Amino acid sequence: MRFLLGFMLVVAAPLQAETIVAQSKITAVTVYPQGARLTREVAFTAPAGMHDLLVTDLPQATDPQTLRIAPSEGVKIGAYSLRTDRLPPRAAAKSADQIAAEAALEAATAVAISAQLALDGVTARITAANAQIAYLGRLGATDAKTETEVLQSTARMIGAEVLAAAQTALAARADLPAAQKALKAADEAQQDAQAALEALSRPDKDYAALSLALSLAAPGPGVIELTQFVDAATWSPLYDIALDRAAGQVVIDRALLVSQDTGEDWAGVALTLSTAQPGNRPDPTTLWPDLHRIYDPAERSEKSVGRFASPAPMAEADMAVGGMAEPVMEPALMTSVAFQGDIVVYAYPNPVDIADGVENLRLALDQIAVPASSKAQAIPRYDATAFMMAEFSNNSGQILLPGPATLTRDGAMIGQTQLEAIAPGAKTTLGFGAIEGLRLKRSMPSRAEGDRGVFSKSNQIEETAVLSVENLTDEAWPVRILEVIPHSEQEDLVITFVAVPPVTEQDTDDKRGVLAWDLTVPAGQTQDITLSTRESWPEGKELNAPRY
């Protein structure tokens, strides 16, 4: 009876806690402009009851504050801890590719050994034949005093043996190049196999171990999903922007460049790219009250300096109202990339591999074609040629994020630029390189006063400049010509100008004094603009202005 009761107690008691060692697999990654959120799965099989699950392949930089754990159905999670020191040993898991690479290296090593043995065999044949020839030579020298008939017989024997040994040596030398070539090929194959294995095997860096208590309602497989945030990952957009003047459009090929240095490889992960920046502050800078006071200078000068050496502390209410004791709140350090509009998320359709610290993965995103108007822009004051400019609107419905762009015009590569953020529906203008056939010149014709283009006296300056656009191409070009004249914010300084032909726009792009002409320059012709400027001010005053 006592035995039966003990047996029943054992059966009714829960199973003792068992430590289950498991490894995690990164299944999904969301990469931000700075940082990434990793999703891992830990699969295990265990009987019903309480267990300790030990996961030993987390990066050492794992932040316990960002670590989140979600069990599958039927699994309950208890307390857990993250350790980065005094860790239990772990067995490194090998992928199928690593196993195949190790087998290939082993086979290549065996071939290299066989090739070396074959070469050694050929060399041994040559060495043996040469040794035989040398021995026969010494043997003939020792028999010089024997009888003539014996000597003749010995000589014939030595000659025949030397001939056979020499032929053996020649045959071995004939086999030598092939053996050497085979050994070289085997060595190269072994080196390639070693490099392939090293490319698949990352160093065993420092790691962290996650230990958590769990219970299973029923025996069977279970899954624990881990999510964590890591800093050492980033992505940025890349653009190829092509201007097609004949079609009147700009074609934008968008790509993404992703890299990571998290301490572990990402293999076959579902990749999502987000424009969110979780490292930035979530709220605006605080504004503090700004108290201004007035005082009587005479009354203040009568007071002793010593009275103000140790002012009485302000009341808490005064501090709140006046803000005198509140610190100045500086904005938090922001990243260099500025985003507009809502957060954009890109989900790449196929699994990707990104090696730790050695790989920049470029992924094609999509292609956008938008209508564009193009014209030449000329600034004769500074440039020798006009430049192609294209204006277009972002009608893609998505924000175009800041990033480097490679530019082509009518199929020819022009160069690179840094694209600024373009919000949906926003209009922008991009330059597409110099137009060598549109030559620019700014001259100042001689005047009767002897100065070159400038007439000045004590309270007046007159200046005349001629802006020229020479079209050396075989097509007519629409050209926007820009020039700047002085502007004044004083009533006494009067600035006037006369332009022939008249300007199309004044204070262009809200820039004071910037003039614009929209003209068409026929093929093989030159378009001149004469611009005269006058500045005048009262007698007795002086003009203080920089000259270009």
Query: What separation in angstroms does the CA of 505 have from each of 224, 482, 510, 522, 548?
Result: 67, 10, 10, 22, 22
Residue 116 in this model has a pLDDT that exceeds 90: no
**pLDDT for the residue 199:** 59
Span 448-457, mean pLDDT? 45
Q: How many residues does the chain have?
A: 548
> For residues 383 and 464, what is the distance between their CA atoms, to the nearest angstrom?
19
Query: What separation in angstroms does the CA of 428 have from each of 197, 245, 263?
Result: 50, 17, 41
- DSSP output for 187-254: HHHHHHHHHHHHHH------EEEEEEEEEESSSEEEEEEEEEEESSEEEEEEEEEEEETTTTEEEEEE
Q: Convert the pLDDT of each residue in 180-227 to its tens digit.
A: 788 778 788 877 777 776 655 554 556 788 888 988 888 889 899 999
Hey, is 366 helix, strand or coil?
A: strand
Listed in sequence order, the residues at least 6 apart from 530 whose beta carbon sits closer than 8 Å to its beta carbon are 464, 465, 466, 467, 499, 500
Query: Higher model confidence: residue 405 or residue 292?
Result: 405
Query: What separation in angstroms does the CA of 12 have from each of 7, 128, 214, 220?
Result: 9, 83, 19, 20
> To the nearest whole number, what is the mean pLDDT of the chain?
78
Strands (E), 305-356: 345-347, 352-354
Strands 514-521 and 412-419 come out as: unpaired
**pLDDT for the residue 63:** 84
Span 519-542, mean pLDDT? 90
